[in-house]
Amino acid sequence: MLMNMDPTVICAQLSDMIYDGVVSAEGCEVETFEVGKTYAAIFSNETTAYVVFRGSNDAWDFRMDARFIKVPWPVGGRVHRGFKRAFDDIWPVMSASIYKHHEKRMFVTGHSLGGALAQLAASTYRFDWAYVFGCPRVGNQAFVDTVLCDGVRFENTPDPITHVPLKWGPVQALWALSHLRMPSVYQQPWEAVDLIGSGHGMQNYLDGLGIT
């Protein structure tokens, strides 16, 4: 039964399953949330809840430096404008359901874009732990300092998405200086665990973790 497995395995499996728009899973209740292209789900039983954000089904054009511009994050720091926009879309429709599980052990997880949204969620709600897979950089150090739980970032070698946005770039710097701010660099929370899998797909991460 899925919910009886190790949390790392559960988070990896759920981060993969959510790409299929899963609406059921053995041994747990499932609530799903969708706003535009942003999709998330809560998998729960009597003692534990997993909040899972889906990654992107579309190709990301990481060549567009303008998308890497940071904007203010409400509780501190600055974050990627596109990630914040997606989070601001989905969080209001799912937050009440998250809070009703507050007495349970709660995890937050996601792959790729889903991992970025999980980081933002971990700055908004105090989860017990976070597991993210192939996660891009989300915000600066001041944002990292707002994250409320411990966690792990799993990174395949090589996976180029874990190295974008670039920590620093000319568009970011010019944007900051034009708004009379000193530029800041992208940072990552949590310990990075390097895996032997290669590539960015969630199946590559399952392979790297030895999950079949």
Average pLDDT, the chain: 88
Q: Single out the residue of 114, 152, 105 nearest to residue 130, CA to CA.
A: 152
Q: Say what percent of the chain tops pLDDT 90.
A: 69
Which H or E run contains 170? Answer: helix 170-178
pLDDT computed for residue 25 by the predictor: 80
Determine the distance from the C-alpha atom of residue 136 to the mean position of all C-alpha atoms in its chain, rounded to a whole number: 8
pLDDT computed for residue 3 by the predictor: 79
pLDDT computed for residue 66 by the predictor: 44
101-154 pLDDT per residue, tens: 999 999 999 999 999 999 999 999 999 999 999 999 999 999 999 999 999 999
Residues pairing with 133 in the sheet: 111, 154
Lowest mean pLDDT among 62-66, 78-82, 162-166: 62-66
Per-residue pLDDT for 95 more than 70? yes
Number of domains in the chain: 1
Q: Give residue 63's pLDDT band: very low, low, confident or very high (50, 70, 90).
A: very low
pLDDT computed for residue 165 by the predictor: 80
Residue 126: domain span = 2-209
Q: Which of residues 55 and 4 earns the better pLDDT score?
A: 55
We report the CATH number of the domain holding residue 155 as 3.40.50.1820
pLDDT computed for residue 61 by the predictor: 41
Residue 111 contacts residue 130 (beta carbons within 8 Å)? no
Give the Cα-Cα-Cα angle 32, 10, 134 (nearest 5 degrees): 85
Residue 1: CB atoms within 10 A of its CB come to 9
pTM comes to 0.91
Encoded tokens for 66: 């303008």
Q: Label residue 43 exposed, middle or buried (CB < 10 Å: 0-12, 13-18, 19+).
A: buried
